[in-house]
């Protein structure tokens, strides 16, 4: 049995695997991941053009689809999954929400109609108009684990969603306040785990949580208000008797007249009762900045996905032992923007699994105290706070040399500084994707030549860049032999918004009127896939070699 993740593959390898493995043994395929991202533009379309059909993968259990609008091809894919007896897991990111609300609603309902689907993860992307969540019109008795990203669901839509998914056991989503709120459902009996992000009013949130009596695990991220410990204790004692694991994060804004420390102490004291400290061993911490207007409360250990450390912070906690170091394994996105000259106390958290890391160089020893290893980092964003490029280069080289397999490296600086920073002594350093794209920094032909001579750049498989003219693109493709994907913005592109159809993303007539696309197609080998992105039309993506 085989599983294939094609998100970072070259065009030639994609063809070879298709001919060697997929064509010869479709009944041996258990998992497939396909993407129309800028690294593999039109890959999903190309997959079908080679004659593959998901209906032939009779043992397929898992499918992940990235960057495919909810159009005809998306409907075709879902239809082909209908009769696969073992298919149980679908990841679809993003589901584009456009003006065609009927089409999106039909698409979501067709997913709910997959009879064996148990795990479903959907990420939503908004078009030009904001849409509400398209509650499916079909009841799914099979979906048990549901994650909905990047969309807010109203309290009433939450109830409708639970009615349409009666066997749901895990739900991750963002809820928002709605008035009037119709509590049509007394309880949701089967949800045992939930990750809820919420804003606005506490009373409606409490009402929603009262409907989930089977919860044993709750992660709750409250953005704009605080629920005190007495309220949460009452909720758990009376309505959530099964709850064993609670991870809470709450944002709070001080009123102008507030004494910050007194307000923080007042709230923390509500979390010092025997219920919190003795019965459950749940401890609360607050962090704030001395000159800031906001603070954040969270249970220890910190269990949320993102964290930003940008200024000296102050800490207070209900944990009885001072200076305890907490190990964090859940934060995958970490921003470390602390000044090199900062002399404040260390944060009492060590981050062990950050895979997306944003840093400002130079860094000091505090960085390594908080992040003891960078080997696991996949995406690295770098900016600078001074002009000592020799020191910055040495620090960056040290970091890169410790990263096992870097997927994406972002740097947004003037070309001359990029050349200086990336002139590493270690010629083996690389990233799969080097992202230089910024409308503030445009590369001319000479700068593209210089860029293509850097070992770090020649080792990369994908590049994003803004160039002065179209010949820069062909020169880069010819000079970078390892390149398999290129994303560009050309300053001599005469494309305008009226030249693309708003109604039909699949209409090939748009390409016939695209002067720059036609020029590239004439200058480059016909096997190259060249596509203007529909979401950001100024960007042209190439899938080559």
Task: Give the CATH number of the domain where residue 73 resides.
Answer: 3.80.10.10
Q: Which residues of the chain have pLDDT under 70?
A: 1, 97-100, 126-131, 180, 182-185, 257, 340-346, 497-511
User: Looking at the domain assignment, is residue 450 inside a domain?
Assistant: no
User: Looking at the domain assignment, is residue 400 inside a domain?
Assistant: no
Structural domains of the chain, count: 1
User: Looking at the domain assignment, is residue 121 inside a domain?
Assistant: yes
CA–chain centroid gap for 174, Å, is 15
Query: What is the pTM (predicted TM-score) of this model?
Result: 0.92
User: Looking at the domain assignment, is residue 409 inside a domain?
Assistant: no
User: Looking at the domain assignment, is residue 21 inside a domain?
Assistant: yes
CA-based radius of gyration for the chain: 26
User: Looking at the domain assignment, is residue 52 inside a domain?
Assistant: yes
Residue 342 confidence (pLDDT) = 64
User: Looking at the domain assignment, is residue 305 inside a domain?
Assistant: no
User: Looking at the domain assignment, is residue 92 inside a domain?
Assistant: yes
Residue 545 confidence (pLDDT) = 81
- For 505, phi then psi, to 5°, come to -70, -20
Q: CA 162, CA 150: separation in Å to the nearest integer?
A: 19
**pLDDT (tens digit per residue) in 357-391:** 999 999 988 899 899 999 999 999 999 999 999 99
The bridge status of strand 89-97 relative to strand 119-126 is parallel
Residue 187 confidence (pLDDT) = 86
Q: CA 374, CA 355: separation in Å to the nearest integer?
A: 8
Paired residues of 217 in beta bridges: 193, 245
User: Cis (ω within 30 of 0) for the bond into 362?
Assistant: yes
**In which domain, by residue range, is 114 found?**
1-176
Q: CA 297, CA 217: separation in Å to the nearest integer?
A: 19
């Amino acid at each position: 049995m085989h599983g294939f993740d094609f998100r970072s593959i070259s065009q030639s390898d994609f063809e070879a695997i298709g001919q060697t493995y997929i064509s010869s043994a479709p009944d041996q395929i258990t998992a497939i991941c396909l993407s129309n991202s800028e690294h593999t533009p039109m890959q999903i379309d190309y997959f079908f053009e080679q004659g593959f059909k998901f209906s032939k993968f009779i043992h397929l259990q898992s499918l992940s689809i990235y960057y495919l609008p909810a159009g005809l091809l998306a409907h075709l894919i879902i239809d082909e999954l209908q009769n696969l007896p073992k298919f149980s897991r679908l990841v679809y990111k993003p589901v584009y929400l456009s003006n065609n609300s009927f089409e999106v609603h039909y698409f979501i309902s067709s997913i709910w109609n997959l009879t064996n689907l148990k795990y479903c993860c959907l990420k939503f992307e908004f078009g030009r108009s904001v849409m509400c969540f398209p509650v499916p019109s079909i009841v799914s008795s099979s979906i048990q684990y549901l994650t909905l990203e990047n969309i807010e669901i109203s309290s009433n839509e939450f109830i409708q969603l639970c009615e349409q998914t009666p066997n749901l056991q895990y739900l991750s989503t963002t809820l928002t306040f709605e008035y009037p709120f119709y509590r049509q459902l007394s309880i949701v009996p089967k949800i045992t785990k939930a990750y809820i992000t919420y804003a606005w009013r506490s009373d409606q949130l409490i009402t929603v949580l009262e409907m989930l009596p089977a919860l044993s695990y709750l992660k709750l991220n409250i953005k704009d208000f605080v629920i005190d410990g007495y309220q949460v204790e009452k909720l758990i004692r009376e309505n959530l008797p099964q709850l064993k694991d609670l991870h809470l994060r709450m944002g709070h804004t001080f009123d102008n007249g507030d004494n910050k420390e007194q307000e923080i102490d007042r709230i923390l004291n509500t979390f010092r009762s025997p219920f919190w400290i003795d019965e459950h061993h749940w401890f609360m911490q607050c962090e704030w900045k001395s000159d800031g207007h906001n603070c954040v409360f969270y249970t220890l250990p910190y269990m949320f996905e993102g964290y930003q450390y940008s200024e000296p912070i102050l800490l207070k906690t209900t944990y009885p032992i001072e200076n305890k170091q907490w190990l964090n394994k859940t934060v995958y996105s970490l921003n470390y923007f602390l000044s090199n000259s900062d002399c404040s106390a260390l944060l009492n958290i060590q981050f062990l699994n950050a895979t997306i890391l944003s840093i400002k160089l130079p860094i000091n020893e505090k960085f390594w105290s908080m992040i003891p290893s960078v080997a696991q980092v996949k995406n690295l964003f770098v900016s600078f706070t001074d002009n000592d490029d020799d020191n910055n280069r040495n620090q960056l080289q040290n970091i890169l040399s410790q990263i096992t397999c870097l997927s994406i490296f972002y740097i947004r600086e003037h070309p001359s500084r990029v050349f200086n920073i990336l002139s590493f002594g270690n010629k083996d350093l690389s990233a799969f994707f080097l992202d230089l794209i910024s409308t503030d920094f445009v590369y001319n032909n000479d700068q593209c030549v210089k860029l293509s001579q850097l070992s770090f750049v020649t080792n990369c498989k994908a590049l994003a860049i803004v160039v002065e003219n179209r010949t820069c693109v062909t020169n880069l493709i010819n000079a970078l032999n390892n390149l398999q994907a290129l994303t560009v913005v050309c300053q001599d592109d005469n494309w305008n918004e009226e030249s693309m159809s708003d109604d039909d993303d699949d209409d090939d007539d748009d390409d016939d009127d695209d002067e720059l696309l036609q020029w590239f197609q004439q200058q480059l080998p016909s096997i190259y896939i060249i596509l203007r992105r529909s979401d950001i039309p100024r960007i042209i993506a190439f899938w080559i070699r």
